[in-house]
Structure 1
Amino acid sequence: MKAQFEKIAASSLSSFNAFIYEDKNFDAPWHFHPEYELTYIVKGEGIRYVGNNVQKFEAGDFVLIGSNLPHCWKDSNSVTDVKSIVFQWSDNILGDNWLKNNEFKNIKHLLNKANKGILFNPSFSKNIESRLKTIINQNPLDKLLNFIKLLEYLSSVNDFNTLTSDGFTPSLNLKANKRIDIVYDYVQANYDKKIKLNDVSSLVSMGDEAFCRFFKKSLSKSFFTFVNEYRINLACKLLIESNKQVSQIAYECGYESLPFFYRQFQKFMDCSPLVFKKMYHKL
């Protein structure tokens, strides 16, 4: 599966694309496109990648992706099918320089924030699905007007988190993105085993030091920071959804040392695994 620039075909009936995606899995690779993208997960779970951010996702996940921000969703093999609501639009949806008009200053601010990726919090996004579906099913004029109203509404929402870290600049080099996609797939397939730097660097035909520099430049984090982030997100999912012991979860997520697992969990989640589980079940 190769990372690539995605050419989004314009709708023949509308100024932007609005559709429901349904399939056995999310098959888009690590990719980017100049269009903005708003994605709501109706059904499915797995790992979401946006820029240098990696997090688990599930139904209700609602994300706004900025122009040319690399992203993909990798669904879990345990899910039989997936479904999402997707909006894609260019920055000239209402013509050239429309965002310079005072009426759209809030939307402009929202789209600027989208350059880092925006994840709307579940407390907000759980009530948005019906509104998104309504827009999709409207005639072209009402669809456009109500979509712009939706963006204005989202610009007033403070219940969100940005996804990429400060200083992250996406690499839009096709060769580089292909390498990142290969690394993502390898980690997804081997997170429960010991991952050696040499094994990964050889996959993309690079030496160890060159690969480390490449990965850090591409994602603004080291390769093993990325691996631990991936593993801890999976550990969180198991803590929430199973009654397994913490030690068993640690080993299943690829940690050979329990103290090291605890240190990494504290680093990424700012609490211990047991405290995390208790906090979640109080929600």
Structure 2
Amino acid sequence: MKAQFEKINSKQSALYAFVYEDVEFDAPWHFHPEYELTYIVKGKGMRYVGNSIQNFEEGDFVLIGANLPHCWKNTDLHIGNVKSVVFQWNDLFLGENWFQKEEFYQINLLLKKAAKGILFHSYSSKKTAKRLMAIIEKKPLDRLLSFLQLLEELALVNSIELLTTTSFSPNLNLKANNRIDVVYDYVEKNYHSKIKLDDVSTLVSMSNEAFCRFFKKSLNKSFFTFINEYRINLASKMLIETNKQVSQIAYDCGYESLPFFYRQFQKYMNCSPKVFKNQYLKMNS
């Protein structure tokens, strides 16, 4: 599975909208000049946007800016088919410089923020999924007008999260993106074991020093920071979806030292595993 520049077939319509259904999300780490709005109807796993790595599940609603690398990958905690609703469009969506018109002022601000990736917290509901499906099923002009109305609403939402750090700048080199995708797949398959720098460097045909520099330059974080983020995100998911003891979860996520696991969990989640689980249970009781 190789990373690639994705060419989107949008010649027939200003807005390319579709429903994706399969046994898994199999798109590699990729980028394209089109904006992308994706709603997860079914599926769980890890979402990668720029240098952001987070859990995703049903209701995940994200706006991706032009040429911002991204992908969704399932984890072994998810069993079953996946489904998402996707909208894609480019800067010539409504003609040249359309977003600079007064009528689209708010949408223009939204699309500028999308350069960092946007997660919409307040749109996670079955009602949203039904609305998006209904937009897709409309006739072309009605679909376009309904989608513009949706963008206007999203532009006024306050409860959003910018996904990438302010210092992140996309690396649009195809060879580099291919290497990142290979690393992502390797970590996904081996997070529960000891991951050695030698093995990963060899996998992408680089020396250890060259690989560390490459990864830091590509994602603005070290490779071992990335591994810990991945493992802690997965551990947080296991805490709320399983009845396993914390020590077992730590071991399952690749941590050989329980004190080290606790320190990493505190660092990335700003609380202990016990507090994290209790807060979740309290919010969902």
| Pair in the same fold by TM > 0.5 | yes
Question: Is contact 2:3-2:28 (8 Å) kept?
Answer: yes
Query: Which residue does 1:18 correspond to in 2?
Result: 17
Any unmatched runs of 5+ in structure 2? none
Farther off after superposition, 16-25 or 123-132: 123-132
Question: Is contact 2:59-2:123 (8 Å) kept?
Answer: no
Question: Is contact 2:45-2:74 (8 Å) kept?
Answer: yes
Question: Is contact 1:4-1:31 (8 Å) kept?
Answer: yes
Pairing of 1:1-283 with structure 2 (within 5 A): 1-10=1-10, 12=12, 14-77=13-76, 78-121=78-121, 123-126=122-125, 127-283=127-283
- Give, as a single letter, the amino acid of the residue that structure 2 aligns with 1:73: W
Q: Secondary structure at the match of 2:171?
A: coil
Pairwise CA distance, 1:125: 2.4
Alignment identity in percent? 68
- Give, as a single letter, the amino acid of the residue that structure 2 aligns with 1:91: D
Any unmatched runs of 5+ in structure 1? none
Pairwise CA distance, 1:26: 1.0
Question: Is contact 1:36-1:89 (8 Å) kept?
Answer: yes
Pairwise CA distance, 1:67: 0.4
Distance in 1 (alpha carbons) for counterparts of 2:19 and 2:175: 31
Q: Deviations over 1:212-270 (max 9, x none)?
A: 11000000000000000000010001000111111110000000011110111011100
Distance in 2 (alpha carbons) for counterparts of 1:166 and 1:248: 36
Q: Deviations over 1:45-79 (max 9, x none)?
A: 11111111111111111110000000011113442
Q: Secondary structure at the match of 2:85?
A: strand
Question: Is contact 1:124-1:159 (8 Å) kept?
Answer: no
Distance in 2 (alpha carbons) for counterparts of 1:92 and 1:266: 45
Distance in 1 (alpha carbons) for counterparts of 2:62 and 2:36: 8
Q: Deviations over 1:135-186 (max 9, x none)?
A: 1010011000111111000000011111111200010000000100110000
Q: Secondary structure at the match of 1:87?
A: strand
- Give, as a single letter, the amino acid of the residue that structure 1 aligns with 2:144: L
Pairwise CA distance, 1:11: 5.4
Distance in 2 (alpha carbons) for counterparts of 1:136 and 1:11: 17
Pairwise CA distance, 1:10: 1.2
Question: Is contact 2:61-2:123 (8 Å) kept?
Answer: no
Q: Count matched residues.
A: 281
Distance in 2 (alpha carbons) for counterparts of 1:166 and 1:275: 29
Q: Secondary structure at the match of 1:167?
A: coil
- Give, as a single letter, the amino acid of the residue that structure 2 aligns with 1:161: E
Question: Is contact 1:40-1:85 (8 Å) kept?
Answer: yes
Farther off after superposition, 125-134 or 1-10: 125-134
What is the TM-score when the length of structure 2 is the normalising length?
Answer: 0.97
Distance in 2 (alpha carbons) for counterparts of 1:63 and 1:147: 15
